[in-house]
Structure 1
């Protein structure tokens, strides 16, 4: 089903108290997100915190996030929703812009030179996997299915995060493929299929592809 389906809308409440879910992401990601917000959102992170719907979420985002530590990933989607509203842009557009920003920040200087030295096809196979390295969940698979066409699949994604991760992973991975020299790139996760539950939370399989010339 398409990620625009209402079942992927953000629910009013988290399934776990903020900080308590088993779905984790690196503090490195949170730090990068907050840097982006402080540069792009009026009032920065403090202003976004004030717009969060629950005091427990506000408290969660008052902590200092250490780069190498793991933190609950589920609260992030509520912070990003508040950031998109503060910026006055659609949620998916905000996610894509943040994904591109992450890719460019991670691949500055020498790393961008290495990226351009690799074949576009090899980058298209591994680049979309890079964002998933920062999450404790989600099994990412890529497969060449035709000339300049790679299929993408991420299993075990909490439904609550599907729309967010589909947009940000496609944007970050796609930007890396562009940096490798691709033209007319198309990279997206337009759909997802139910996969039961994990830790009592509905999960799904994101499905997408990247094409270029």
Structure 2
């Protein structure tokens, strides 16, 4: 059998460690939920009324993934680089048009994540009605800790989520404050995509997002899920 030849080396499989296992979780797609905590929506100047709204999403390429504990350079093109602490849902089974009651069957596990954002570029795009790609989908912008298999966690409906920068509290909330719950998000997203094992869903960030600078050390934690760490390096 002939072996396929490529003009250049194909990109690697991006993956994350799994707690208690040697095998790693291969990442397929990264979906991110926008404005999923009321207080954060307000601080962004776009309050959300769930009765008259639907969840909305943006994506990051799997190549933007970086593991917890890394040092990442301050990104180019921005002077307002923000942290966004989030619960990440790792999908472990295929699903299309699933119901909220069946959502748990798609979940492999959870992780703590950081949706790093070039806020100035995002806001310019928002004001001009353009896509957010330059502000959101850039290199080393999807930080994620190890995947914790669902086990006895089931659907996480509550639990503290917090982030410190250089030891100073920045973000603090509870997963019960999510506007759209995990089952609601999985059911809604599966209306538009055939969800697959390896898909990650960043479920939104609480209030308290803010700028970081070179030398800053970020440390976050989600109850029953675990922690995440990131150091901001010098600009390239």
Question: Which range, TM-score by smaller chain?
Answer: under 0.3
Report which of the two has the higher share of strand: 2
* Higher relative contact order (CA closer than 8 Å, sequence separation 6+): 2
Higher helix share: 1
- The TM-score normalised by the length of structure 1 is 0.27
TM-score (norm 2): 0.25
